[in-house]
Amino acid sequence: MIESVLLWLFAATALAAAALMLVLRHPMRVALALTATMISLAGIYALLGVHVIAVFQVLIYVGAVMVFMVYAIMLLDVRDRSFTRRYSRMLVPGVAAAVAFVAILAHALWRGLPEAKSAPGVMLFGLKEFSVTFLNEYWLHFELVSVLLVAAVVAALAVIEVGRKHRG
Amino acid sequence: MLIATSIALFALGLLGVIVRRNVLVMLMCMELMLNGVNLSLVTFAQQQATAAGAVLVLLVFVVAAAEIAIAIPIVLLLVRRKDGLDLDAYAELKG
């Protein structure tokens, strides 16, 4: 009972913060709204019983990605036209596209989802099962992702180097 | 209910990417889209009682971290060249 109420509460918080992201003016407030969404999602994951993902959501998203984002916002405290005019020319087509997208997905949802095999909150796989599955069956993906990370680091350094050369 | 939430999160993120002018806000809306997809993956993994969905979510985390590590330096350089975060200033990036 209490789990169900908390699940609704976290989902409502996530949606409200996500909607707030579209109307707030300053990027820092948008970042805080996004952090609220991510923490609510971590709460949903924990309530569902997928504790591994909840921990990683807080560690990676809130701890790394959003801190990096906030750092970039503080570094680039530029006040230009994007502060006085929040929305681009694509406002009406964008809203139309989003409404059409939601309509299509809701139609697909209406036609039926696979049957749920377990109730929310039941602990299905702990860290041990998760790790064994991860490194036994999906080791190739793990390696590919590490290659991707190395490529990202090299690319970030290359981008910075190009900028340095450009300034002389 | 959680699937509907994830659809709504993804749609709000898409709307934000299309509609907002500030480049940093657009990046954050892309993160919101990734989060919506993650929520649906976790929900399906939990309902079907397999760990595969959770593994995929972990890989998405890594991809999001890599994406932000690339995107922020690019935005920094663009801001240095154009002196602003406004999208219209970047119109010359059009192919």
Higher pLDDT, B82 or A81: B82
For residue A85, the model assigns a pLDDT of 73
**Quick check: B86 and A80 in contact, CB under 8 A?**
yes
- State the angle between helix axes of A27-48 and B23-48 in degrees (0 to 180), rounded to the nearest 10: 0
More confident residue, B87 or A34: A34
CB distance B76–A95 less than 8 Å? no
Residue A168 pLDDT: 55
Any chain A CB within 8 A of the CB of B12?
yes
- Give residues 12 to 71 of A whose Cβ lies within 8 Å of B: 14-15, 18-19, 21-22, 27, 30-31, 34, 37-38, 41, 44-45, 48-50, 52-53, 56-57, 60-61, 64-65, 68-69
Spell out a b/e string for A48-81, using b for 16 or more CB atoms within 10 Å of the CB, else e.
bbbbbbbebbbebbbeebbeebbebbeebebebe
User: Tokens at residue B84, please?
Assistant: 């602003």
CA–CA gap between residue A76 and residue B81 (Å, rounded): 13
Residues of chain A with pLDDT under 50: none
pLDDT tens-digit series, residues A77-126: 766 666 667 777 778 888 888 899 889 888 888 887 766 666 665 666 67
Closest B-chain CA to A61: B61
Mutate which of B1, B17, B18, B34 to test chain A, going by most A C-beta atoms within 10 A? B18
Maximal C-alpha separation, chain B? 51
CA pair distance B35, A92, nearest whole angstrom: 25
Give the one of B65, B70, B83 whose C-beta lies nearest to A64's C-beta. Answer: B65
Average model confidence (pLDDT) across chain A = 84
pTM: 0.87
Q: The complex's ipTM? A: 0.88
Report the percentage of chain B scoring pLDDT > 90. Answer: 24
